[in-house]
């Protein structure tokens, strides 16, 4: 009986020893790697783009008007019509102007005769010098009146000041117009074309005269390169925008005034003091606050991550500038950073 118990005890002991030995030889379960995506840090383009939509206009536009009011007898042009220098664009009814001119001529002729008579009488001592001077003054006034009447008659026509195009026609024949009222808007062709647009005050602060501008017209697909030639000093009180003008290249075929144009102005931001700017996606930044934040970078072996502190700068298009703490060539976790701890094993996804 004792022998049986001894044999049973020995068997149990050997079984336990085998189990223990097997337990020591079994490797620990592998650590599960956290899947992440990484991005190699390189120089960042922090260019800023100002986009606007405007209208094509002649670079030199002038509203043309009559010096005097009256009835518009003829409108000889239409909007969009090309005209030559000196060509008559519109004419007033000149009946009253012709009458005023004739009256002024007759008045001057009378005072010329009166002056001849006064000079003769003065020579004979029959009138005083003062009387002669009065007649002379009346003659001079009549001469000035004739010049004014002739000027008004001459300007009863509106003529093209140069080769150009009629951009707008404001009135029609037989309408009564006032002195100085714009009749047509004239554009001078040899001065080129511009695009006029409005931008926000914030965007205007980024611009400088002479900036190159990518221009795309409604007609055609070819992009043109213009130059920023005017930047208003203040915003428009009605629209709240700042007006800009972009000169189109001289080689452009004559566009249609009022055509829509899309503008894109690219401004290169200044690099950091240490050299080119670098940036990371916002998704890579952890605990960002007051110009500071943290990111995870891969170690040299490429299978573990390390959390480091960085200084942050500008924001642009889903990226944030890193001003210190990170150098070009480092591999930053761009996706999955929120689930990591310092030193954990990761698996880099393609």
Q: Look at 95-99, 105-109, 251-255 and tell me which has the smallest mean pLDDT.
A: 251-255
Q: Are 202 and 65 in contact (CB under 8 A)?
A: no
For the record, the structure tokens of 330 come out as: 């480092």
Q: For residue 338, name the pLDDT band (cuts at 50, 70, 90).
A: confident
In tens, the pLDDT along 78-90 reads 998 999 999 999 9
Q: For residue 30, name the pLDDT band (cuts at 50, 70, 90).
A: low
In tens, the pLDDT along 243-275 reads 999 999 987 776 777 889 999 998 765 444 444
Q: Are 281 and 315 in contact (CB under 8 A)?
A: no
Phi/psi at 277 (5° precision):
-70, 150
For the record, the structure tokens of 303 come out as: 């299978």
Q: Return the closest-CA partner of residue 65 out of 237, 163, 183, 209.
A: 183
Q: Please, what are the domains in the chain?
A: 34-46+272-348 (2.40.420.20), 51-59+191-267 (2.40.30.170), 95-155 (1.10.287.470)
Q: Return the closest-CA partner of residue 57 out of 266, 243, 264.
A: 243
Q: Which helix (H) or strand (E) holds 61?
A: strand 61-65
Residue 185 and residue 112: Cα distance in Å, rounded?
A: 43
Which pairing describes strands 88-92 and 157-159: parallel, antiparallel, or unpaired?
A: antiparallel
**What's the full length of the chain, in residues?**
350
Distances (CA, A) of 31 to 201, 304, 345, 349: 56, 12, 8, 17
């Amino acid at each position: 009986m004792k022998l049986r118990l001894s044999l049973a005890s020995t068997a149990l002991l050997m079984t336990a020893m085998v189990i223990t030995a097997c337990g020591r030889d079994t490797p620990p379960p592998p650590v599960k790697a956290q899947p992440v995506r990484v991005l190699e840090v390189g120089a960042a383009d922090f260019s800023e783009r100002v986009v606007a939509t405007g209208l094509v206009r002649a670079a030199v536009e002038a509203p043309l008007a009559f010096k005097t009011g009256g009835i518009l007898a003829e409108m000889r042009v239409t909007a969009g019509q090309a005209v030559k220098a000196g060509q008559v664009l519109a004419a007033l009814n000149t009946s009253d102007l012709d009458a005023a001119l004739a009256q002024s001529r007759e008045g001057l002729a009378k005072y010329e005769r009166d002056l001849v008579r006064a000079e003769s009488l003065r020579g004979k001592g029959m009138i005083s010098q003062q009387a002669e001077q009065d007649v002379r003054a009346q003659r001079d006034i009549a001469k000035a009146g004739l010049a004014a009447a002739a000027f008004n008659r001459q300007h009863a026509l509106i003529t093209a000041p140069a080769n150009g195009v009629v951009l707008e026609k404001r009135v029609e024949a037989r309408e009564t117009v006032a002195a100085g009222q714009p009749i047509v808007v004239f554009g001078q062709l040899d001065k080129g074309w511009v695009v006029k647009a409005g931008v926000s005050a914030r965007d205007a602060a980024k611009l400088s005269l002479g900036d190159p501008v990518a221009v795309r017209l409604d007609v055609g697909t070819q992009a043109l390169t213009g130059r920023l030639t005017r930047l208003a000093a203040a915003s428009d009180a009605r629209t709240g925008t700042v007006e800009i003008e972009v000169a189109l290249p001289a080689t452009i075929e004559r566009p249609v005034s009022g055509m829509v144009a899309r503008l894109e102005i690219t401004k290169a931001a200044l690099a950091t003091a240490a050299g080119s700017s670098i940036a990371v996606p916002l998704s890579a930044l952890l605990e960002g606050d007051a110009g500071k934040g943290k990111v995870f970078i891969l170690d040299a072996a490429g299978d573990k991550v390390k959390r480091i502190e960085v200084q942050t700068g500008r924001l642009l298009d889903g990226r944030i500038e890193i001003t210190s703490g990170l150098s070009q060539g480092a591999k930053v976790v761009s996706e999955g950073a929120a689930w990591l701890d310092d030193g954990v094993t990761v698996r880099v996804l393609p």
